[in-house]
């Protein structure tokens, strides 16, 4: 037909020519749950042959919402990956399934030419985790031949802590705003809530604390609890239990009581009634997370009661329902003259044994506050009668928000693998946390979430790796950073062999690069005031000395660093002798923590042979150089990564290179005032004089509580 002669039919691939209004671009929304068809036919056929059928085995064999979710996920995932339908059947186990918590067993067989994968678990959530495990194996192109895998989570409560306000701002949130649209709840259930739960379940997370630790009692009112219940209803099929932060003064603020004294019977009755109300609405409610008498938050000490008194009152209300209290150990007093790094230990260790059985004391990985590098917190292993929960921070409060690449698995592994010697050698932080050192029946790990309303969930396209890594390590702290980075990269960007190694290499080197260009050699708390983005070693006059930078770095003409050895604040004395001996000795102390524990002369000889000053300069420069290397590496991946995510990361790396230079230059110019030494060869001079960095001010940095209005 003549009239059709110029009309050429297009393949599907040619459609998304511009923008994303077509809604089909790779915008990162799918995270690591991408189920694109396997393009290598031999691989695809091998999986098809292995998957004639999938059998989900539970003690009940009932078609629960969780098993339906597992089956739907398998259908969707395998339809995408393999291009066809695999029958999934749910059956009741004929044998007794051994007690294995959230764990599962994955077995593949081939009998009479029928390939079968069988997922067996003691309860439905375990099957769901097994389903995601199976999909992950296919997504990362692992063989399914003769699988016989038993996977048991090492930690029981694997929780994301959201520092989300009811206004939807997020304290230290860098990926937009809170996912919880409180005003639209309970009527409208955004499909994104389901996808959040799927993503969490896919990496084994089983809890979400919805609200900021700087808490607002309003979330405990009936107006909000029905909204909480609606969210909990969406999460339930995915095995995610909801937790809330409890503002300690809630009995006064929303209860109308004259006091919040935890030993006052009316206060105790109020909490009991409130908790009963919560469980009527949310029968599987997880419990309360509490920040008390910390940075201005109310707490039991307002009534001369101890942290144990406070925690126990809440714990008693929760106990009949099986709920727990996560009581944060992040406390330090403005009045206390002692080293801030020592205060939590001093305050909490005397309370060991005084907490109810359903109370966790939740400590951050290090004794200060999520610095790019800290030694492990001395509380780990120091409270044998109390289960200690580990709090990690996925959101990069001190590592560049969602602007800078910093894959945190290596940082978390560093603390998890640290040996506390609490019960002899091998008493790693990981084993303290999972309860195996002190034989606690319950265990918990929490990660401060880096999620938000940004379409790709975490702002930086590569920051989702931290969400992923947290879940994987919470499930199994023995996994290596390399293995996690490799999995995540394959699932997120594909299995292209030209792509996987360079991306994994970037991820694995990134945290150390941030340490180097911001706070190398054990330096800490050097950041700009308030928003914490960029350098501020000169910050010295704030409401509290322990919020300044000079409190921590002690830069002077005689040297640099905080003497926490026996001749200083003796913070090392809070560790077991085996550890204290190493940290406390300038010769044995790892150089990565040197200035954390020691005040060291500028000419101190480092292992490299450099002086401290030259080594410091070299580290700052190395951080910058590393980012430049990623830029080159990333550029070479053009064509191997979809344009939208490639452009996004390229833009952020450009910014990170600028930020890294800014850190290097601001810090070195500042310290040079004390070292009075020239920059060594190979270290680039600053772009501006010191004055420029001192005066520089950013406005409206995301996540900064004071500017959230």
Sketch the per residue contact string, 420 through 459, with its own copies: x for CB under 8 A, - otherwise: ---------------------------------x-x----
Sketch the per residue contact string, 600 through 619, with its own copies: x for CB under 8 A, - otherwise: --------------------
Near its own copies in 85-124, by CB under 8 A: 85-87, 113-115
Give the number of residues in contact with its own copies, rule: CB under 8 A.
Answer: 88
Contact 226, 192 (CB under 8 A): no
**């085996």: which residue's tokens?**
578
The answer to whether residue 698 forms part of the interface with its own copies (CB under 8 A) is yes
Sketch the per residue contact string, 193 through 212, with its own copies: x for CB under 8 A, - otherwise: -xx--xx-------------
Of residues 254 and 571, the one with the C-beta less far from its own copies: 254
Of residues 10 and 94, the one with the C-beta less far from its own copies: 10
List Cα–Cα distances, 613 to 523, 617, 676, in angstroms: 13, 6, 10
Q: Which of 75, 321, 628, 640 binds its own copies (CB under 8 A)?
A: 75
Near its own copies in 369-408, by CB under 8 A: 403
Q: What is the C-alpha separation between 544 and 580, in angstroms, rounded? A: 29
Which one is catalytic: 309, 397, 419, 454?
397
Which one is catalytic: 27, 72, 116, 295?
295
For residue 55, give every residue at least 6 positions away whose Cβ sits within 8 Å of its Cβ, in sequence order, or none: 88, 89, 90, 91, 116, 117, 118, 119
Beta strand spans in 292-402 (E): 324-328, 359-364, 388-393
**Stretch of 11-19, 298-306, 307-315, 536-544 contacting its own copies, by CB under 8 A:** 11-19
**């920059």: which residue's tokens?**
679
**Stretch of 50-58, 577-585, 594-602, 660-668 contacting its own copies, by CB under 8 A:** 50-58
Q: What is the C-alpha separation between 292 and 295, in angstroms, rounded? A: 8
Q: Which of 58, 120, 139, 169 binds its own copies (CB under 8 A)?
A: 169
Burial label for 527, CB within 10 Å (0-12, 13-18, 19+), is buried
* Residue 295 annotated in active site: yes
Q: What is the C-alpha separation between 417 and 426, in angstroms, rounded? A: 9
Structure tokens at 584: 């406390």
Q: What is the C-alpha separation between 419 and 384, in angstroms, rounded? A: 15
Near its own copies in 481-500, by CB under 8 A: none
The answer to whether residue 642 forms part of the interface with its own copies (CB under 8 A) is no
Q: Cα 630 from chain centroid?
A: 23
**């001010």: which residue's tokens?**
697
How far separated are the first and last CA of the chain, in Å rounded? Answer: 64
The answer to whether residue 168 forms part of the interface with its own copies (CB under 8 A) is yes
Q: What is the C-alpha separation between 190 and 309, in angstroms, rounded? A: 40
CB 183, min distance to its own copies, A: 5
Q: What is the C-alpha separation between 126 and 421, in angstroms, rounded? A: 33
* Residue 369 annotated in active site: yes
Closest CA to 72 of 243, 194, 230, 172: 194
Q: What is the C-alpha separation between 125 and 129, in angstroms, rounded? A: 6
The residue count for the chain: 709
Closest CA to 178 of 240, 231, 253: 231
CB 257, min distance to its own copies, A: 19
CB 169, min distance to its own copies, A: 7
The answer to whether residue 655 forms part of the interface with its own copies (CB under 8 A) is yes
* Residue 63 annotated in active site: no
The secondary structure of 619-641, three-state, reads HHHHHHHHHHHHHHHHHCCECCE
Which one is catalytic: 73, 102, 124, 369?
369
CB 323, min distance to its own copies, A: 25
Q: Which of 29, 303, 547, 692 binds its own copies (CB under 8 A)?
A: 29
Of residues 168 and 377, the one with the C-beta less far from its own copies: 168
Of residues 588 and 697, the one with the C-beta less far from its own copies: 697
The answer to whether residue 187 forms part of the interface with its own copies (CB under 8 A) is yes
The answer to whether residue 189 forms part of the interface with its own copies (CB under 8 A) is yes
The answer to whether residue 42 forms part of the interface with its own copies (CB under 8 A) is no
Q: Please list the active-site residues.
A: 295, 369, 397
């Amino acid at each position: 037909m003549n009239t059709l002669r110029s009309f050429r039919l297009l393949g599907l691939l040619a459609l998304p020519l511009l923008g994303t209004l077509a809604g089909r671009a790779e915008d990162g929304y799918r995270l690591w749950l991408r189920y694109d068809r396997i393009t290598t036919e031999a691989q695809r056929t091998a999986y098809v042959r292995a998957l004639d059928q999938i059998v989900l085995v539970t003690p009940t064999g009932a078609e629960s919402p969780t098993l339906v979710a597992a089956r739907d996920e398998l259908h969707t995932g395998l339809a995408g990956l393999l291009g066809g339908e695999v029958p999934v059947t749910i059956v009741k186990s004929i044998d007794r399934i051994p007690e294995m918590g959230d764990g599962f067993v994955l077995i593949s067989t081939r009998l009479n030419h029928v390939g079968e994968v069988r997922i067996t678990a003691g309860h439905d959530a375990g099957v769901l985790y097994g389903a995601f495990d199976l999909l992950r194996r296919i997504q990362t192109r692992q063989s399914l031949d003769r699988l016989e895998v038993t996977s048991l989570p090492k930690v029981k409560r694997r929780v994301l802590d959201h520092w989300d306000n009811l206004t939807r701002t997020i304290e230290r949130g860098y990926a937009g705003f809170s996912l919880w649209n409180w005003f639209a709840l309970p009527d409208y259930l955004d499909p994104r809530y389901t996808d959040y739960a799927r993503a969490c379940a896919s990496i084994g997370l089983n809890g979400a604390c919805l609200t900021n630790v700087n808490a607002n009692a309003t979330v405990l009112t009936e107006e909000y609890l029905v909204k909480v219940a609606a969210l909990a209803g969406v999460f339930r099929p995915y095995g995610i239990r909801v937790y809330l932060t409890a503002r300690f003064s809630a009995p006064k603020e929303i209860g109308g009581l004259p006091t919040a004294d935890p030993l006052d019977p009316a206060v105790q009755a109020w909490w009991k009634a409130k908790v009963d109300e919560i469980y009527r609405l949310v029968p599987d409610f997880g419990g309360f997370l509490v920040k008390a008498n910390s940075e201005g938050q109310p707490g039991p000490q307002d009534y001369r009661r101890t942290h144990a008194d406070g925690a126990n009152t809440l714990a008693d209300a929760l106990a009949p329902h099986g709920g727990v209290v996560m009581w944060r150990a992040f406390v330090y007093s403005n009045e206390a003259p002692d080293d801030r790094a020592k205060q939590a230990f001093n305050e909490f260790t005397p309370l060991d044994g005084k907490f109810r059985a359903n109370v966790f004391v939740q400590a951050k990985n290090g004794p200060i506050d999520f610095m790019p590098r800290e030694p492990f917190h001395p509380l780990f292993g120091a409270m044998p009668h109390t289960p200690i929960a580990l709090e990690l921070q996925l959101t990069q409060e001190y590592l560049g928000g969602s602007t800078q690449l910093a894959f945190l698995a290596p940082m978390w592994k560093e603390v998890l693998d640290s040996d506390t010697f609490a019960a002899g050698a091998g008493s790693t932080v990981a084993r303290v946390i999972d309860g195996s050192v002190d034989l606690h029946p319950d265990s918990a790990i929490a990660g401060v979430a880096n999620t938000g309303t940004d379409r790709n969930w975490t702002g930086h396209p590569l920051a989702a790796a931290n969400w992923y890594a947290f879940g994987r390590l919470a499930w199994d702290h023995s996994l290596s950073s390399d293995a996690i980075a490799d999995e995540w990269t394959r699932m997120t960007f594909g299995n292209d062999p030209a792509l996987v190694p360079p991306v994994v290499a970037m991820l694995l080197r990134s945290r150390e690069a941030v340490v180097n260009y911001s706070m190398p050699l054990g330096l800490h708390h050097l950041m700009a005031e308030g928003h914490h983005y960029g350098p501020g070693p000169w910050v010295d006059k704030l409401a509290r000395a322990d919020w300044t930078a000079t409190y921590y770095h002690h830069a002077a003409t005689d040297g640099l660093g905080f003497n926490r050895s026996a001749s200083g604040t003796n913070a090392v004395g809070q560790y077991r002798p085996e550890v204290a001996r190493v940290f406390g000795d300038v010769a044995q102390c790892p150089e990565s923590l040197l200035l954390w524990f020691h005040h060291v002369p500028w000419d101190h000889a480092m292992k490299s042979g450099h002086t401290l000053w030259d080594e410091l300069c070299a580290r700052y420069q190395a951080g910058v150089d590393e980012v430049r290397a990623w830029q080159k590496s990333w550029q070479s991946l053009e064509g191997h990564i979809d344009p939208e995510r490639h452009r996004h990361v390229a833009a952020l790396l450009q910014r990170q290179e600028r930020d890294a230079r800014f850190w290097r230059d601001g810090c070195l110019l500042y310290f040079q005032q004390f070292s009075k030494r020239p920059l060594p060869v190979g270290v680039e001079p600053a772009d501006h004089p010191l004055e420029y960095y001192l005066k520089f001010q950013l406005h409206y940095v995301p996540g900064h509580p004071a500017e959230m209005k």
